[in-house]
Each structure stands twice: as structure tokens, then as C-alpha cells.
């Protein structure tokens, strides 16, 4: 058999709105979020090997990565590798590959890099080995890997609910231009959610789907000035107080609202257009000495049509 090679983009995501509920009996938090994929991406290069070969994995920083940290986790704990093992288990046979994962998305930055890598692996294996799995079947494999993986199987713009399993694509959304900023701070997701649990009041009613849906229907230009709702902003600032000072510096340089990406630590600003985003990224870098990049929302090619379960009424 001739080896086959595929390069799969694994885009980062932003939560333009994130509403979080109380943890369930398993400690998992239901959410309602407006998620979008953006043009910052990791690159997954996958080669199909001869039957009987042993899979090989390499994970490294892309030469363009602006915020590199030590890749100090076990290869078997990497989400892309776990996704490969999960799809092998699902189809009941070995799918030998050689993986080269070149990362641009910062670790522990709230941009979903690991989950995106997992989704990219599932999509790439499905294509390389001609498995014929539907999006819904891939979602079932993705569910144990992380709450954001199902969203990344769709990409684009979507309303995401439940524990991430309910994904409603939002069609024909206008492109947004943004600046991403990478503070030298890591925000462990678990610590941020524990702080959230300690901070919410006894009558906390989240998640709030109506609030998120109203934001989705807002004119795109109104997003540039408003404070986008993110229930994890205050917990993140309490866990990492230095992040709040960084946010204030960026706000002075940008002269508009600065938002937390997911559970942090990345921050972002919504811009008027591509030229504004590029100029503002340069201004923020000059005035704060922090890495900043101009990006835009990114819509992948349409996925295979699939029906998705609907979340229970809120």
C-alpha cells in the first residue's frame, strides 16, 4: 500500500459569550456559549502508514508561534494522540499513522488548542482511512475527550450548549476582525472553575441561553464596544490577579473593551476591520511589550450534513 499524507488545520476558538451553570453531580458545568473558530491555527500533518506499522507521534512548536512554552506533557496524554487511540478503539482496528503536530495556539490560553487538535485528528483519520464515519458518529467518539471537541468537528460559528454536546451551527455570520494578546500567564481550567464555584451565589441561575441568543442577534458593529459576557472572567482575575493589570494596560492602548478568551489567559479586542486589527496589534505590542496578533473569524468548508440532538428546554 502506498502511504498517504494529509495536512489538517486545527483552528483556535473564541467564546464571544460564555454563560456557565452550577456543576452537576459529576462536577461538570453546563454552559451556553457562542463560539467561533479563528484564523490562528495549529497544523496537523498525518501520514498513513503500512498495515502493521507502529504509530509515531511528534509535537513541536511552529516557527511562527508567538507564545511558546515547554511541551512537558506525556505524548499519550496529548489530546490529538488520545483522539487517534479513541478512533482506533471505535472502529476496532489499528490505524497506523505518523503525526507531526506543529503548534501555534498557546497552551492554557483559553483558545481550545488541545480540543481542536483532537477534532482535527478524528477528521483526518476518517478521511485518510476512508472510514465513512458521520459527524454524529465522530461526535460520539469526541465526547469523552473534552467538551469543546464536538464544536471543533463543525467549526465556524455555533451556539454550544449542555456539556458541549449540543452544537447548533450559525450560518452566514459576518466576519469579525480581532486582535489576540498572549500574556505570560497560564490559567489552569480546573482552578478557574473551582474559583467560579466558590464565587457564585446560592440563587445562581446560569447558564442563561436567552442572554447568549440575544447577543448572537445583535448587529456585528455593536460587539466592538460592549462588554461581552463571560462568567469566567471574574474567577480568572481572582486566580491570576496579574491578568487584570495586563487587561487594563491593553484597554488603555486599544481604547476599547478587552475580553477574556474562555477561561483565560489569552485576551482579545474586536476591531473595525482588517487594517484596524493589524495596526492595533502593532500598537499593543509596542505599548505593552506583549505578543499580539491580528486574526479573523474563520469558516471551514461545509461539513457533511448531519442531524444533531436538541438540548432540553432551558
Q: State how far the Cα of 8 lies from the Cα of 99, in Å rounded to an integer.
A: 11
Supply φ then ψ for residue 106, to 5 degrees: -60, 150
Cis peptide before 92 (omega within 30 of 0): no
Q: Which of 36, 44, 2, 40 is nearest to 18 (CA)?
A: 36
Q: State how far the Cα of 208 lies from the Cα of 187, in Å rounded to an integer.
A: 24
Alpha helices in the chain (DSSP H): 79-91, 113-128, 135-142, 149-154, 189-199, 209-216, 233-239, 241-254, 274-288
Do residues 227 and 142 touch, judged by C-beta distance below 8 A?
A: no
Q: State how far the Cα of 8 lies from the Cα of 43, in Å rounded to an integer.
A: 6
Q: Strand, coil or helix: what is 222?
A: helix
For the chain, the residue count is: 314
Q: State how far the Cα of 230 lies from the Cα of 228, in Å rounded to an integer.
A: 6
> Which residues are identified as catalytic?
13, 148
Cis peptide before 166 (omega within 30 of 0): no
CB-count exposure of residue 184 (10 Å: 0-12, 13-18, 19+): exposed
CA 252 to chain centre: 27
Do residues 117 and 42 touch, judged by C-beta distance below 8 A?
A: yes
Do residues 226 and 257 touch, judged by C-beta distance below 8 A?
A: yes
Do residues 185 and 242 touch, judged by C-beta distance below 8 A?
A: yes
Amino acid at each position: 500500500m502506498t502511504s498517504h499524507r494529509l495536512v489538517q488545520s486545527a483552528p483556535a476558538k473564541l467564546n464571544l459569550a460564555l454563560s456557565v451553570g452550577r456543576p452537576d453531580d459529576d462536577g461538570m458545568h453546563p454552559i451556553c456559549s457562542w463560539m467561533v473558530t479563528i484564523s490562528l491555527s495549529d497544523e496537523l500533518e498525518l501520514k498513513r502508514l503500512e498495515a502493521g506499522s507502529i504509530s509515531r507521534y511528534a509535537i513541536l512548536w511552529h516557527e511562527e508561534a508567538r507564545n511558546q512554552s515547554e511541551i512537558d506533557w506525556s505524548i499519550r496524554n496529548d489530546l490529538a494522540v488520545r483522539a487517534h487511540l479513541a478512533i482506533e478503539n471505535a472502529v476496532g482496528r489499528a490505524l497506523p499513522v505518523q503525526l507531526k503536530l506543529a503548534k501555534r495556539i498557546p497552551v492554557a490560553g483559553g483558545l481550545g488548542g488541545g480540543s481542536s487538535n483532537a477534532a482535527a485528528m478524528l477528521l483526518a483519520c476518517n478521511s485518510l482511512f476512508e472510514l465513512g464515519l458521520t459527524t454524529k458518529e465522530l461526535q460520539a467518539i469526541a465526547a469523552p475527550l473534552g467538551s469543546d471537541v464536538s464544536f471543533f468537528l463543525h467549526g465556524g460559528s455555533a451556539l454550544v450548549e449542555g456539556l458541549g454536546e449540543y452544537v447548533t451551527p450559525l450560518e452566514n455570520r459576518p466576519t469579525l476582525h480581532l486582535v489576540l494578546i498572549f500574556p505570560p500567564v497560564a490559567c489552569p481550567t480546573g482552578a478557574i472553575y473551582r474559583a467560579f464555584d466558590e464565587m457564585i451565589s446560592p440563587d445562581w441561575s446560569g447558564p442563561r441561553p436567552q442572554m447568549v441568543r440575544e447577543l448572537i442577534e445583535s448587529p456585528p458593529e455593536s460587539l466592538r464596544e460592549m462588554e461581552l459576557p463571560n462568567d469566567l472572567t471574574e474567577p480568572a482575575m481572582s486566580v491570576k490577579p496579574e491578568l487584570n493589570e495586563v487587561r487594563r494596560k491593553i484597554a488603555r492602548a486599544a481604547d476599547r473593551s478587552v475580553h477574556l478568551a474562555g477561561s483565560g489567559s489569552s485576551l482579545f479586542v474586536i476591531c473595525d476591520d482588517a487594517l484596524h486589527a493589524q495596526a492595533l496589534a502593532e500598537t499593543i505590542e509596542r505599548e505593552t511589550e506583549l505578543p499580539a496578533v491580528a486574526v479573523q473569524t474563520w469558516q471551514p468548508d461545509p461539513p457533511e450534513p448531519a442531524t444533531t440532538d436538541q438540548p432540553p428546554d432551558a
